[in-house]
Amino acid sequence: MKKKFVLLLAIVLGLSAAFGTFQYMEDLKQTYKLSGNYTQVAVAKQHIRAKTVITKEMLDFKEMPAEYVLPGTIVDAKDAEGKITVGDIFPGEVILSSKLTSKGDPAAGLSAKIEANKRAISIPANKVNALHGLINVGDCVDVLATFDVEEPDKRESYTSTLAQNVPVLAINNSLQTSVSEKLELETVTLMVEPIHAQQITLALEKGSIQLVLRAPDDKQVQPISSTKIQQLLR
């Protein structure tokens, strides 16, 4: 009987202590609110994986004593929406600007630079004539393919324009906007339509690729007929 009484007493005292702590924290919270030293901060409502574009549905807000709010803490949803996470952010974690980046920032990686419904394709340097030393990330190019076609009585060579006004996303593994002329060219990565990715892949297997540099303000896309070698022998 005595043991039961001691156990019951311990439970009561434990509950009293827990309630007292809770009441103290609530009183402290009210004190901060009344003194105006409370700030709403953004926290993750869910597990947000690295390289995820932040939406308002992923965010929640909680109040925190201003003295504990770290520099760079997100306090307004618009400062986080559309940004990309550099690493994983876990549920309830306070969101800091240092954990976010914008699409144009190289820290966001190549995938962040790819627009919706587009694809990135890398072309090996030994498969393409790529204006070595003259082409930079951010330039736009046309993609030409030359290949041979077996016709009934002969083999004919054709050159076709596969894609126009194609952005250059990377040179080798660099996402920077300028590349040293001394850098040995290994790959050129382009952002293309899915159909153009197929066509370029086929051309790399069966022919050769030429990249043609465009002027920065030339965005025009127009139909261009294929050229065959006989047209050059007039």
CA 225/CA 110 separation, integer angstroms: 33
pLDDT of residue 106 exceeding 70, the answer is no
pLDDT digits (tens, 9 = 90+) for 41-75: 999 999 988 888 889 899 999 988 888 888 888 89
CA 25, distance to chain mean position in Å, is 41
With 0-12 / 13-18 / 19 or more C-beta atoms within 10 angstroms meaning exposed / middle / buried, residue 58 is: buried
Q: Which of 74, 88, 81, 78 has its CA nearest to residue 55? A: 81
> Is 119:197 a contact under the CB 8 Å cutoff?
yes
Which tens digits make up the pLDDT trace of 70-92? 888 889 989 989 888 888 889 99
Residue 103 has pLDDT above 80, yes or no: no
Domains present along the chain, CATH in parentheses: 37-112 (3.90.1210.10), 114-232 (no CATH)
Tokens 């009441």 map to which residue?
A: 23
pTM of model > 0.75? no
Whether the Cβ atoms of residue 211 and residue 130 lie closer than 8 Å to each other: yes
For residue 196, pLDDT over 90 is answered with yes
Separation between Cα atoms, residue 223 and residue 216, nearest integer Å: 20
Give 25 or 156, the one with higher predicted confidence. Answer: 156
Region 29-45 average pLDDT:
74
